[in-house]
Structure 1
Amino acid sequence: MADSMSNVGPTDSASAGRSAPALDDVGYRILSELRENGRLSMAALAERVGISRANAYSRVEALMDGGVITGFSAIVDHAKAGLSIGAHVFVTVHPQSWPSFRERVLAMPEVEYCAVTTGEHDAMLMIRATDVSGVHDFSTGVIAQLAEVRTVVSVVILDEVVRRPFILPADIPARAPAEQLGMTRWTPSPGAREPLPPR
């Protein structure tokens, strides 16, 4: 690895599958520093964390080999890069269609993020477009046309208030337990949804 980590790409699949090293305070401080500036040199990282350069190098290598750090990349302002519109696309998928649905989504360059969810819908896609018509074209002309998909709901994003690269356990404040339940709303599944096949 070079002294600067600016050109480090994602780890390969073999590395990502290895056992992650146990994270101690130094490990978390390394992650915190790299979150603020992923282009820190090893010398600068070592100085900020309070360890030797050799230790910093070996620690980062271990975090990458263990799959804790999966890569380094630039953070881009989407609007300034020409993609001024973002949208969440909520999708309901036909049961037994998940393998092919996943493969199709992985091949879609507009999709920045996709997650399987609980609630009324089965998956949420984050997409980017140059204008609102691009969101419409993707929702009705791409996703809704898939045989695996039952329903599609698109929500245009007006403003992204918070977008962090990742959070760490120390970021989560201690809070007193809620006095009563009922603060979270769980959306029941539609009655018409087919049951999932037995495993």
Structure 2
Amino acid sequence: MDDLDTGLIAELRRDGRASISELAERLKVSRATVRTRLERLKEAGEIAGFIVLTRADISEAPVRGLMMIGIEGRGGDRIMARLTGLPAVTAVHSTNGKWDLIVELATESLADLDEVIRRIRNIEGVMTSETNLLLSTRRATSRRALP
């Protein structure tokens, strides 16, 4: 990757909906050059895909937390299905180590968070949990897609 490729990726991060013409103008190169570079970056796997962010993705609930869950037996799939059905659950991650699942939570108030935690702890198969409030979040400027 050279400076033009890096610049192209930076422009796409700023505005993923920018047209080839807009990108060419910003980078001061031809549209054909942008199109060729974009295709080459996709084929090489440097650009793994494009995403859409909705309003819900970027508007943060005032109270956010991470809940680590230890489950009993082989009920992981059933518990994950129950968790993803809760409106306050924004993501469920399976993991290794001490905790079996990590759940991202977002609510409007501490009372709402307390209620969600209570509901999750009452799900059959949830044996133990620990919840941490998120105080601030800094997003990484670059993400690598896993192969």
TM-score, scaled relative to structure 1: 0.55
Paired with 1:132 and 1:44, the residues of 2 have a C-alpha distance of 45
Post-superposition Cα deviations, 1:76-124, rounded to whole Å, max 9, x if no partner, equal 241xxxx211111111122311222232233233222222223321111
Closer, same or farther: CA 133–165 of 1 in aligned 2, 3 Å: farther
Query: Which residue of 1 is the match for residue 77 of structure 2?
Result: 99
Paired with 1:50 and 1:96, the residues of 2 have a C-alpha distance of 57
State yes or no: 1:126 paired with 2:126: no
Q: Point out where structure 1 has 5 or more consecutive residues left out of the alignment.
A: 1-23, 170-199
Alignment: residue pair count? 138
Post-superposition Cα deviations, 1:147-169, rounded to whole Å, max 9, x if no partner, equal 13211211112222x12364259
Percent sequence identity over aligned pairs = 19
RMSD of Structure 2 on Structure 1 (CA): 3.2
| Runs of at least 4 residues off by over 6 Å | none
Post-superposition Cα deviations, 1:28-74, rounded to whole Å, max 9, x if no partner, equal 654332222223232222344565435645736x84xx892142225
Query: Which residue of 1 is the match for residue 116 of structure 2?
Result: 138
Q: Which amino acid in the other structure matches residue 144 of structure 1?
A: R
Q: Point out where structure 2 has 5 or more consecutive residues left out of the alignment.
A: none
Q: Which amino acid in the other structure matches residue 84 of structure 2?
A: L
Checking the alignment, whether the CA contact within 8 Å between 1:100 and 1:148 is kept in structure 2 is no
Which of the numbers 34, 49, 52 marks the counterpart of 1:69? 49
Closer, same or farther: CA 53–93 of 1 in aligned 2, 3 Å: farther
Of Structure 1 and Structure 2, which has the larger fraction of its residues in helix? 2
Q: Which amino acid in the other structure matches residue 112 of structure 2?
A: G
TM-score, scaled relative to structure 2: 0.71
Paired with 2:31 and 2:64, the residues of 1 have a C-alpha distance of 41
